[in-house]
Amino acid sequence: MDYRTQPIDPTSERDLSAGGLRLALVDTTDAAAFDGWIRADFRGFHSGRPKEEVLEEARGYLGGRRTTGVYDDAIPTREPVGTVNSWVAPLTVPGGARVDAWAISSVTVAPTHRRRGIARALLGGELRTAHALGVPLAILTVSESVIYGRWGFGPATYATAWTVDTKRVRWAGAETTGRLSFTDPEEYRDTAERVLDRVMAGRHGEIGLETYLAHRLTGPLKGNTEADQYRLVRYDSPSGEPEGFVSYTVKGDDDFTRHTVDVSYLAAATDEALTALWRYLLELDLVASVKVWTRGVDEPLPALVSDIRGAQVTAVEDHLWVRILDVPAALQARTYEGDGSIVLEVADDLGMAGGRYRLTVTDGRAEVATTEDDADVTLPVASLGSVYLGHDTARALALAGRIQGDAEALDRLFRTAVPPRLSTWF
C-alpha cells in the first residue's frame, strides 16, 4: 500500500475550494515547496523560525510521510495556511500483534485562517483516505484534548509525569544487574533503534518508530538549544545484550549540589534494564531532583524508592487518541484476557464504523460479525476507541452517559491487567 501517493480527498478539496482555498499534496522532493510546508508547521506550534540546517534535517526525516498543505492563492506568500502529514505506523495491541494505524501529525492552521473549517477538511480527508485504504484505525497525540473527539477519536492511553526528590529517597528496588556506560547518539543510534523496537513491540499502545521519531529519543535534533547538555547512558545485560538507555539533560542552579535532571527518554526492553536505569538516575551525585514525562500509569517508581512521597506524580494526561475505522478488523486484531460474548451498537457520525456487531471471544481470540441481536452496549465510536487498548475507562464513560448498557461486561472483556502505554509523542 503506497499511502503517500493516495490522491487528495475530493470532499475536502471541494469544501475548501468553496472557501477559496486549495488542498494539495506536497512534493517532498521539491525542497522549496517542502521548506514552505515545514516553516508553516513550525509556526503553527509557535516554534522558532527553522534555520537551514533544521530544514535540511527535517526534509530528510519527514520526506517519507504523506504531506498535505492548504493554500490560499489570494495571499502573497506561497507557504500553506494549513498542514497535516500522515503515515502508516505499527500499533501494538493487547496480545502483542502490531496493527496498521493511520498516524496523523502536524495538524496546523495559520492563525490568520483559523476557524474557517480548514482542520475539519484536513481531518475528514485523512480519515476518509485511511478508511478507503482499509486501515483499521487512526491514531494521534494531541496538543489540546478538546479538539479530536468530534472526529470520533477517544483517549486510549494516559501518561504520567513525575518528579523525584532524590535527596529524600534511597533505592528500595531489587539488586540491579548488567552494565551501564556513557555513549553518544552517533555511535549508538542503530543499536537504539533495535532497543526501541523491542520496547515498542513489548507494550500495547506503543507504536513502531520511524527513524525520525527514534533519533529524537536518543539525542537532540538540529536547532535544539540545549544540545550541549544532553547525556546518553546505555544499559547492556550481563551477557552484553543492549536492552535500554536513558537520554537526559542536567541543569544547575546556584547550589552546585542540587542539580535537576530532565529525562528526555528512558527506554527499557526488560525489567532489569528499567530498574538499573532508574537506580542510576536516582543515585546521581550532585542532583536533587529527577523529572520525567510520558511514562505509563503503572510506572513502578513508588515501589523502587524508600519513601513513596519522594516520588510524586505531577501530571496524568490523556496521551494516545484512537479512532476506529473498521470495527471487525480492529477488534479481531487484539486478544482478550477472558472469554465472553457481547453485542455492541456503535454510532459513527462520519459513517465509517457504525453498526451493530457481536464480539465473541474464545480462548482470548475474537470473532466479530454484524448482527441483528439486541445490543448489550451502545456507544459512540470515540468511546470504543477509548476502551480499545485495554484502559479501564468503561465505567467512567457510562457514568458520563457516553456508554449505555452493560459497561461492566464491556470493561471485563476489554481491559488488560497491564495498562496500555504510549511513551513518546508523534
Ligand X SMILES: CC(=O)SCCNC(=O)CCNC(=O)[C@H](O)C(C)(C)COP(=O)(O)OP(=O)(O)OC[C@H]1O[C@@H](n2cnc3c(N)ncnc32)[C@H](O)[C@@H]1OP(=O)(O)O
Nearer to ligand X, 109 or 344 (CB): 109
| Least distance in angstroms from the C-beta of 312 to ligand X | 28
Sheet holding 82-92, edge to edge: 22-25, 66-71, 82-92, 98-109, 137-141, 320-324, 154-155
Q: Map residue 257 onto helix, strand or coil.
A: coil
Q: Which residues bind ligand X (CB under 6 A)?
A: 44-45, 104-109, 114-120, 140, 142-144, 146-147, 150
What does the longest C-alpha to C-alpha distance in the chain come to? 70
What DSSP character marks residue 398?
Answer: H
Structure-block grid coordinates of residue 322? 484512537
* Residue 42 bears catalytic tag: no
Structure-block grid coordinates of residue 96? 502483542
Nearer to ligand X, 139 or 277 (CB): 139
Nearer to ligand X, 321 or 388 (CB): 321
Please say whether the beta carbons of 402 and 186 come within 8 A. Answer: no
* Residue 414 bears catalytic tag: no
CA distance 199 to 197: 5
| Least distance in angstroms from the C-beta of 109 to ligand X | 4
DSSP string, 35-60: HHHHHHHHHHTTPPPPPHHHHHHHHH
Nearer to ligand X, 67 or 166 (CB): 67
Residues 6+ apart with CB under 8 A from 326: 131, 134, 135, 136, 137, 352, 353
Nearer to ligand X, 104 or 214 (CB): 104
Query: Which one of the listed residues 34, 42, 71, 148 is annotated catalytic?
Result: 148
| Least distance in angstroms from the C-beta of 86 to ligand X | 10
Burial class of residue 23 in the structure, from the number of CB atoms within 10 Å of its CB (0-12 exposed, 13-18 middle, 19+ buried): buried
Task: Supply the residues annotated as catalytic.
Answer: 148, 426
